[in-house]
Structure formats: structure tokens, C-alpha cells
Structure 1
Amino acid sequence: MYYLSIFWHYTLQYLKTRMAYRVDLFVELMSDLLFQAVNLVFILVVFSHTSLLNGWSREEILFIYGFFLVPYAIFSAFFNIWDFNERYIVQGEMDRILTRPIHSLFQVILERMELESLFGAVTGLVIMLYAGAQLGLSVSWYDPFIFLFMVLGGACIYGGVFVCLASISFWSDSRIDIMPMMYNIANYGRYPVDIYHRVIRFVLTWILPFAFVGVYPSAYFLGREEWYGYAFLTPLVGLLFLSLSIWVWNQGVKRYRGAGN
């Protein structure tokens, strides 16, 4: 309850600051929407030259992309730590974080959250509803609960991977950052993994499991029974990677010796 109270107060203050510059907030939301529209156009352009992509129809690809946007929006809102090395290690902000009686990772997440990114989840749901209607998908009473667990699992996978990457800064404060490259690799998870080489499929499944963010959980709702096993592993993989990332973070904090020359 203490952590929930802290989160609530941080959220209220964040909303106050964002609403103070409403035009800036509106422009940011529109830029995110434009970025998502560009990705949609890319999918439509691909399917203007073919009716199937390795057995996947256009509507199925759109459904996967829409599903991908939901956990990705949660991740973008609460795990915006791409500049952790520069801001908290190189500039010494981590010293301030460690003087407070609350877990350091929780503080960093609260300071760097961008709640407007949750708007992407609405876009994803709209795309899923459109694609699902075109495919004639049926929904059972328990599907919303499964959807919620898989979305949270996917968000935890993203969060876990990027927290682990941020934790590397505790051992090396080099300004060479692999975050941008990892963001590009993460985007592979919004397309069916069977269109890639088997080596890439293995990496996206068991090493950097971004396939569990989009295609595997989507396979359940699309009725792809051959991938049901992977789909139901999504919450477990998410919990595993998030737990691993917290452990790595804690080990890094123990090693941290503060800013200095």
C-alpha cells in the first residue's frame, strides 16, 4: 500500500505538469499516432504485392501488430529508461536516488514514466477490433482475462530486458549505448517469427523473447493451435525476465560506488 500511495502521488503530479503544456502533449500524441500510421502503411504496402506472407493474411498481421502495441504502450509508459546510463550514472543522479527510503528501481521508473504513451494501447485495441471483425473471430467470456495476463506478461518481458540492459551501467559507465539497437531488435516481435531464419526465431524466443510480446500471444486469439504452448508461456516468461532484471539491478546497486572523478 505504501508503494501504491507513492505511485498515486507521483501520477497526480505528473498529470499536473503535462496538462500545464497541453499543446505540447497534443503534438506528442499526434506524433506517436503518425508513427504508428507509418507502420500500418508499411504492412499495407507489403500486402499490396502479395495476399499471404508465409501463410499469414493481412488481417492476421494487423491483429498481431495491434496486440503488440498494447504491451509496448505499457512498457513505454513505465520503463522509459533508455538514458539511464547518461543521466543516472555519468551525471551522478543515482546518488540522489539512493538517499531515499524506497527501492531505487521503483524511483527511476516513477521519475521517467510517460503516461501519454498509454494512448498507444487504445490504438492497438482499435486495430485488433478491426482485424478481428474482418477475420470473424469469436470471443469467449474468459478471453479478456487471458488477454490481460498476456499483455502484462509481454510488458514485463520488455521491461525485464531493458532493465537488464540499463543495469550494465553499474559495471561500465561507457557512453557507448546498445539501447537504440535493442529497440530496433524489439520491433521484430510484431511480425510472425516464422518469416525469419531459424536462428533469428531462436533468439526472439529464448534469448531476447520479444516474440512473446506480439506473435505468440496473438496466435491464441487467431486460433493458431500449433503455437498455443508458446502463447500460454507468455506470463511465465514475463515474470521470469522481470524477476531476473530486478536481481541484476540489485546486484548492480550493491556494486555502485557513487559519482566521482
Structure 2
Amino acid sequence: MGGENMLMPQRNPGQQLLYWIGMYGQYLKIYCKTLVEYRADTIISVLAGIMVQGSTLLFLAVIFQRIPQLADWNFYELVFIFGLAATGKALNQTFFNAPFSLHGLIRRGQMDVMMARPVGVLFQAVGHSQELNGVGQSVTGIAMLCYAAWHLQLNWTPWTLLYIVIALISSAVIQFAILLTISVTSFWVLEVRSVIYPVNWLYDFTRYPLEIFHPFVRGLLTYAIPYALGSFFPAAYLLRPSGYAWAGWVVPLGAMVIMLLAYSFWRIGLRRYSSAAG
């Protein structure tokens, strides 16, 4: 990733990929040590995530005691949609929380130090951005997925399992790319947190079928801020493949395109960066 001020050793693409994987593995090792060392914080975070997601599941159960379907989706389908979206959000928080720290890195001058290292600035920011709260939410999200899938009697094939993995990675990448695009404006403006948090909260809308929302909201979450591409649509494809067949290839392709655009904007912002000491 961009922003190197020092020459890196020449490697072929395969060696470079292994290098990045190994480097990120070191960051994950530090993260795991943090989870073990701060056991109380880890336990509280896990329990908090379970309680938050569990309360939503209880809310859905109460709603469906009074209505059999919501916009033609039954209870277990909604739980499946919610579980997939929640797990994608948890993965983003756990591994790609860097957009929330970028503002501080710039204002405190830490980016000056990061730019002097022979590793991309964005890669370093991602490596240091793991969030404890995502652990509990991922546990609950996966449990909800399995619970709903069991009741729905989904046809589990190797492609189904592979697509769930692809969908979850795509969801985390799409969220990261959208929030990164907003946080990059920190290179030009003093305060972006008043924007990045509301945009992040919009993701919660995609935990429910888009049909229940106003057409404006559906368009917003599909085209302008395409969170639905990494949450509702892949879940709908797994539940109703005949009606959402296009999502099988649009979801991963869309994630790559959105990430490429966000990374291009990141490189533009990084070139405009001037030292905090300047």
C-alpha cells in the first residue's frame, strides 16, 4: 500500500503477497496477545456483543409473534439476513477499523513516523486497528447464521460455504472502503468524525430486507453508499438464488471496484499530506 519513503526489497508478486501475509500475521499475533492479557476487557466486550445482538433477535421474535412475514420475508430469513450483516460488521470492526483512527494519526503527527517506515502507511494503520467489540459480535452473528440456516434447511454445498466466506469478506471490504473514503478527507479538513459515524450507522439498515424501506433509502444503500451490496443482497442470493442470481458475481466484483476507488482516493490524499510539524 502507498506512502513508502524508503525503497523496499524487490520481490515477485508471490513473494510480495507472502510478505504482506506474514507482516499482517505479526499484527494479529499482537492483537491475540492483547486479548489474552486484558482478559476482563475481552470478556466484557464479548458479552456486550452477545447482549446487543441477542436483544435484536428478541425484538424480531416479538415482532413476528404478531405478524407472520415482513415484506414477504419470514422470521428465520430475517434472522439469516441479520446474522450475515452482523458478522460482516464484526469482521470489519475486528480487522479493518483503521478509518476511525486516521484522523488521530494525522493530527498527532504519527503519520510522519509511519511514512518513514518501509511498509505502506495504510497497511500499518490497518494492522494497528483491531477492535475488541467485534469479537463478541462475530460470535453472535455466526450463531444466528447457523441457527437460521438450520431452520431454513438450506442446501449446504461447497459453493454455499465458499460464497458465505466471499460475502463476509466483501462486506468487510465494502464497509472499510466507504469509511476510508470519508476519513481520507482528514487530509484537507479538520474534523470528519461528525460524518463518519452517521455513515457507519447507516449500515444497520441493511440488516433488514430493503423492501421495507422508502425507495430513496433503498437507492442510497444500493448505489450511493452501497452497504447493501455486502449484507442484504448476498443473504438474499443464498436464500432466494433464482431472484438474486446476479448477486453471485456482483457482490465480490463490486467490493473490488469500491475498494479500488477508495484506495485511489487514499493515494491522492496521501500525496497532499504535509507533516504535522510543518
| Same fold flag (TM > 0.5) | yes
Distance change in 2, residues 1:156/1:179 (3 Å): same
Q: Name the structure 1 match of 2:64.
A: 47
Quick one: distance in 2 between partners of 1:162 and 1:203? Answer: 15
Stretch deviating more after TM superposition (41-50 or 160-169) = 41-50
| 1:192–1:8 Cα change, 3 Å | same
Q: Is the 8 A contact 1:60 1:131 kept in 2?
A: yes
Residue aligning to 1:98: 115
1:176-187 to structure 2, matched below 5 A, reads 177-187=194-204
Q: Which amino acid aligns with 2:108?
A: Q
2:149 paired residue among 123, 132, 140: 132
Displacement after TM superposition at 1:85 (Å): 4.9
RMSD over aligned Cα atoms: 1.9
Provide the C-alpha distance between the structure 2 equivalents of 1:218 and 1:27, rounded to a whole number of angstroms.
29
Aligned residue number for residue 24 of structure 1? 41
| Partner residue, 1:37 | 54
Q: Given the alignment of the two structures, is residue 76 of structure 1 paired with residue 89 of structure 2, yes or no?
A: no
State yes or no: 1:88 paired with 2:105. yes
Query: Structure 1, residues 160-192: CA drift from partner, whole Å, max 9, x if none?
Result: 111111111112122652122012111111111
For 1:249, the equivalent position in structure 2 comes to 266
Give me the identity figure in percent: 26
Aligned length: 261
Counterpart Cα distance in 1 of 2:78 and 2:166: 21
Structure 1: gaps (5+ residues) = none
Residue 125 of structure 2 corresponds to 108
* 2:210 paired residue among 170, 193, 205: 193
Residues 131-186 of structure 1, C-alpha deviations (whole Å, 9 max, x = no match): 12222222223211122222211111111111111111112122652122012111
Tell me how far 1:30 sits from its aligned partner. 0.8
* Aligned AA (1:210): Y
Check the 8 A contact 1:81/1:166 in 2, yes or no: no
Please, which of 215, 221, 242 is the counterpart of residue 238 of structure 2?
A: 221
Counterpart of 1:211 in structure 2 is: 228
Aligned equivalents of 2:192 and 2:91: distance in 1? 27
Letter in 1 for 2:276: A
Tell me the distance in 1 between the aligned counterparts of 2:93 and 2:223: 22
For 1:81 and 1:40, locate their aligned partners in 2 and report how far apart those are by CA, in whole Å. Answer: 29
Counterpart contact for 2:87–2:168, Cα < 8 Å: yes
Call closer, same or farther: CA 1:260–1:175 in 2, change over 3 Å. Answer: farther
Give, in whole Å, the separation in 2 of the partners of 1:176 and 1:31: 24
| Structure 2 CA distance for aligned equivalents of residues 24 and 18 of structure 1 | 8
